[in-house]
């Protein structure tokens, strides 16, 4: 061979490879969490791995290779599609169609009013009803949602936190009407409030009250609904907020330990409830090896942590059973059909990581609620991976790979380091002090830097970008009659129910909430009397009060974004801009990042945080004397909220204040917003430099 002529005397094969590699230096490459990746891994990199101690066998401690002995040879993962929109009838039709096509588990998307605890006829929430999920106001809605779906035959996942208790009670009540016993019900509640205060924002009650309700639900399920997972500790939402994949797992583990400690204080043993703790550790990326290693490391670390801290007698208490899959923040508006390929890689990575349930996003979820066709493609993606790829033939097929085992070891160590840092301060204190939020924000900015520099390639976004912009695709369009139909049903329920029974049930619920008694039995009475979500949460508010979001400080005194697109500063007087999130949407990563970018570009930025009313935005505009209002809206309610703001500004004779809107905005809605009077629209994927230049131009135009 040609290279053999260059062999040095007594040179080993390894030395020759190293010499040849050095002749053409390679740029450094890193994992998404910052570990430098070597060009090659060999047996020397895994010499410290003890097979019995570190890997072992599937279904055996430390569960690195999976939680069940046969893994997918014995039973495939559960195929889930996260679905829900409009009214209960709309979503029921979609569920039945997906079940008929082979979906094996339901994953319920609930709208923001339901998630936070407002009824659909509450004047504060009209634009949000049925937008990002299905509206559930009372047991009447839950009955329609599962009409014709036998609950003893399906497993149902609810992504719900603040209102977990009433949602579980409604599901149990529907089961009872179908003749299904509580011990027959299978499913999962997210019921993980801590991450809401740092990442997602669907909070309502103070932290201590939310923790009490979470513990009540977990304790109740352990005793009365034993096949139902009472909590799904979520790293996914922290990842969507900007945490690295490793940080999201580590922070989720610290939250889980806080919940466990609460239940142990109530006198339960670890084995009473730990086997039913489940996990949502998406959002999965397209790097197959990183993701497989992350899940393997997470299973091993959790098993070791539980064994070290709690000494369970039941091995299942150490198991990490994971729901994972793709997420909307991994998808792109640009060239949306590329998302089909991304989702296929994410499903493959999840399966190679040995998870128990997978959700696959639809290619159009970067724009809106998935269309029926797109959701079927997402389901077919899972089925093709499961039945055609060959990865289900043997458990943990990547085990023994020098690279994967090295990644697994590194991921476990970094997770443990983060956990130690948080536990040293205390979980609640780490949240209240802003330590966790600051860490997540730094990671979000680092990711933006990698994308802007091209280090992290996104095909169609920062490489191989097409000049004509996003392709036209058929989108699900929200039914404008949804709000009216939902309000009419909720008001009819109030008229037809036994008002005296409702009031009696709510009084009992309030009394129980003021005591140390578990709220779930009283909750069941309330929902069976057809009390609404809003009435139940108002009752709790009378007892617990409301959570007050701390003053937002992501602008003043914070480190710069580090993004080169923001480095050219304005000349002359600085532009004053208010960045606000109207409505109930709590996903604030984009708003915070944009606020920092605008500040770095020399603008004076007032960021008002999440859950702003239109009246509050106008009042802040007057007080701060801003020239521009920037709305960040990801819930699909951009037309309604923009219209309300512009009308209010005209009423106040403030036509000179320009309004710009960014977020998840389909191209077909851009001319609609412009017709309303929005000065500029920035859909997802708009380069930061373009946003900054447009805002400067608007101010110069006067």
> Taking residues 444-464, what's their average pLDDT?
85
**How sure is the predictor about 556, in pLDDT bands with cuts at 50, 70 and 90?**
very low
Judge whether residue 64 has pLDDT over 70. yes
- The label of the residue with tokens 């397209």 reads 286
Q: Mean pLDDT score of the chain, rounded to an integer? A: 90
Share of the chain above pLDDT 90, in %: 69
Q: What is the pLDDT of residues 210-235, one digit of tens each?
A: 999 999 999 999 999 999 999 999 99
> Taking residues 38-53, what's their average pLDDT?
96
DSSP codes, 66-118: -SSSSGGGT-PPEEEEEE--SSHHHHHHHHHHHHHTT--EEEE-B-HHHHHT-
Judge whether residue 459 has pLDDT over 50. yes
Judge whether residue 23 has pLDDT over 90. yes
Q: CA-to-CA distance for 613 and 594, rounded, in angstroms?
A: 20
> What per-residue confidence (pLDDT) applies to 553?
44
Stretch(es) of the chain classified as CATH 3.40.50.280: 564-701
- The label of the residue with tokens 């690195």 reads 64
Judge whether residue 351 has pLDDT over 80. yes
CA distances from 290 to 252, 446, 598 (A): 18, 18, 33
**How sure is the predictor about 196, in pLDDT bands with cuts at 50, 70 and 90?**
very high
User: From the centroid of its chain, how far is CA 72?
Assistant: 26
Sheet of 186-189: strand order equals 228-229, 186-189, 155-158, 105-108, 78-83, 357-359, 321-325, 277-280, 231-234
Judge whether residue 693 has pLDDT over 90. yes
Q: What is the pLDDT of residues 637-675, one digit of tens each?
A: 899 999 999 999 999 999 999 999 999 888 889 999 999
> Taking residues 467-494, what's their average pLDDT?
77
Q: CA-to-CA distance for 403 and 76, rounded, in angstroms?
A: 26
> What per-residue confidence (pLDDT) applies to 132?
86
> What per-residue confidence (pLDDT) applies to 570?
54
Sign of CA dihedral 641, 647, 649, 652: negative
**How sure is the predictor about 564, in pLDDT bands with cuts at 50, 70 and 90?**
low
CA atoms within 13 A on the CB side of 336: 21
Q: What is the pLDDT of residues 390-446, one digit of tens each?
A: 999 999 999 999 999 999 999 999 999 999 999 999 988 888 788 888 889 888 888
Annotate 184-220 with b (16+ C-beta within 10 A) or e (fewer).
Answer: bbbbbbbbbbbbbbbbbbbbbbebebbbbbbbbbbbb
pTM assigned to the model:
0.90
**How sure is the predictor about 449, in pLDDT bands with cuts at 50, 70 and 90?**
confident
CA distances from 528 to 89, 166, 486 (A): 20, 10, 19
**How sure is the predictor about 552, in pLDDT bands with cuts at 50, 70 and 90?**
very low
Least confident of 268-277, 316-325, 472-481: 472-481
- The label of the residue with tokens 């390679």 reads 26
Higher pLDDT, 555 or 493: 493
Q: CA-to-CA distance for 692 and 565, rounded, in angstroms?
A: 8
Q: What is the pLDDT of residues 115-127, one digit of tens each?
A: 999 999 998 887 8
Instruction: Please give the CATH topology (third level) of the domain spanning 564-701.
Output: Rossmann fold (3.40.50)
**How sure is the predictor about 689, in pLDDT bands with cuts at 50, 70 and 90?**
confident
> What per-residue confidence (pLDDT) applies to 554?
43
**How sure is the predictor about 1, in pLDDT bands with cuts at 50, 70 and 90?**
very low
> What per-residue confidence (pLDDT) applies to 324?
92
- The label of the residue with tokens 């949804």 reads 482
For the domain with range 74-453, which CATH number is right: 3.20.20.240, 3.40.50.1110, 3.30.465.10, 3.90.600.10? 3.20.20.240
> Taking residues 70-98, what's their average pLDDT?
90
> What per-residue confidence (pLDDT) applies to 664?
85
> What per-residue confidence (pLDDT) applies to 470?
54
> What per-residue confidence (pLDDT) applies to 369?
72
Instruction: Let me know: does 356 contact 78? Beta carbons within 8 Å.
Output: yes
Stretch(es) of the chain classified as CATH 3.20.20.240: 74-453
Q: What is the pLDDT of residues 168-191, one digit of tens each?
A: 999 999 999 999 999 999 999 999
> What per-residue confidence (pLDDT) applies to 127?
84
Greatest mean pLDDT among 117-131, 308-322, 457-471: 308-322
Judge whether residue 560 has pLDDT over 70. no
């Amino acid at each position: 061979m040609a290279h053999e002529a260059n062999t040095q005397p007594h040179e080993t094969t390894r030395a020759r490879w190293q010499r040849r590699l050095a002749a053409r230096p390679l740029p450094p490459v890193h994992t998404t969490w910052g570990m430098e990746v070597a060009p090659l891994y060999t047996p020397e990199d895994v010499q410290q791995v003890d097979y019995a101690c570190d890997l072992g066998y599937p279904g055996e401690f430390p569960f690195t290779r999976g939680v069940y002995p046969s893994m997918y040879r014995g039973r495939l993962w559960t195929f889930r599609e996260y679905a829900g929109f409009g009214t209960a009838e709309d979503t029921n039709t979609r569920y039945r169609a997906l079940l008929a096509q082979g979906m094996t588990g339901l994953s319920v998307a609930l709208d923001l009013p339901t998630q936070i605890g407002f009824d659909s006829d509450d004047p504060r929430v009209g634009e949000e009803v049925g937008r990002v999920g299905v509206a559930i106001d009372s047991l009447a809605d839950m009955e329609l949602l599962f009409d014709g779906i036998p609950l003893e035959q399906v497993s149902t996942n609810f992504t719900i936190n603040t209102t977990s208790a009433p949602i579980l009670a409604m599901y149990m009540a529907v089961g009872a009407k179908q003749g299904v016993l509580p011990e027959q019900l299978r499913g999962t509640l997210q019921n993980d409030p801590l991450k809401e205060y740092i990442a997602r924002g669907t909070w309502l009650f103070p932290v201590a009250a939310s923790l009490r309700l979470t513990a009540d639900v977990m304790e109740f399920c352990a005793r009365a609904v034993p096949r139902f997972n009472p909590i799904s500790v979520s790293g996914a939402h922290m990842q969507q907020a900007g945490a690295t994949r490793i940080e999201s797992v580590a922070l989720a583990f610290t939250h889980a330990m806080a919940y466990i400690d609460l239940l142990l204080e109530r006198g339960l043993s670890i084995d009473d409830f730990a086997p039913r703790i489940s996990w949502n550790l998406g959002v999965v990326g397209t790097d197959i090896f990183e993701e497989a290693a992350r899940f393997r490391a997470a299973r091993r670390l959790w098993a070791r942590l539980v064994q070290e801290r709690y000494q369970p007698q039941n091995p299942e208490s150490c198991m990490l059973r994971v729901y994972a899959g793709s997420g909307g923040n991994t998808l792109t508006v640009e060239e949306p059909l590329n998302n089909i390929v991304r989702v296929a890689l994410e499903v493959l990575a999840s399966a190679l990581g040995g998870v128990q349930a997978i959700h696959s996003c639809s290619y159009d979820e970067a724009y809106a609620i998935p269309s029926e066709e797109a959701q079927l493609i997402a389901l077919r993606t899972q089925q093709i991976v499961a039945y055609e790829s060959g990865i289900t033939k043997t458990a943990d097929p990547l085990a023994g790979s020098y690279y994967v085992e090295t990644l697994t070891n590194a991921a476990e160590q970094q997770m443990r380091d983060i956990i130690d840092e948080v536990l040293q301060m205390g979980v609640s204190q780490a949240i209240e002090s802003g330590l966790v939020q600051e860490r997540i924000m730094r990671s979000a900015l680092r990711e933006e830097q990698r994308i802007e520099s091209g280090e992290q390639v996104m095909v169609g976004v920062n490489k191989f970008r097409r000049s004509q912009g996003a392709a036209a695709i058929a989108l699900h369009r929200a039914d404008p009659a949804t709000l009216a139909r939902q309000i009419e049903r909720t008001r009819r329920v109030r008229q037809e129910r036994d008002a005296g029974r409702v009031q009696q049930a709510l009084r009992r619920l309030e009394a129980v909430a003021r005591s140390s008694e578990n709220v779930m039995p009283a909750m069941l009475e309330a929902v069976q009397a057809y009390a609404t979500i809003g009435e139940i949460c108002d009752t709790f508010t009378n007892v617990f009060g409301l959570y007050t979001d701390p003053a937002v400080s992501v602008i003043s005194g914070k480190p710069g974004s580090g993004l080169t697109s923001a480095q050219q500063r304005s000349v002359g007087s600085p532009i004053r801009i208010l960045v606000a999130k109207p409505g109930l949407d709590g996903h604030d990563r984009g708003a915070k990042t944009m606020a920092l970018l605008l500040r770095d570009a020399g603008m004076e930025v007032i960021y008002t945080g999440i859950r702003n009313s239109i009246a509050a935005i106008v009042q802040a505009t007057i007080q701060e004397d801003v020239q521009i209002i920037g709305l960040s809206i990801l819930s699909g309610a951009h037309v309604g909220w923009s219209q309300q703001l512009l009308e209010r500004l005209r009423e106040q004779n403030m036509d000179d204040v320009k309004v710009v809107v960014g977020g998840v905005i389909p191209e077909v809605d851009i001319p609609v917003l412009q017709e309303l009077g929005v000065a500029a629209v920035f859909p997802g994927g708009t380069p930061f430099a373009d946003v900054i230049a447009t805002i400067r131009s608007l101010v110069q135009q006067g």
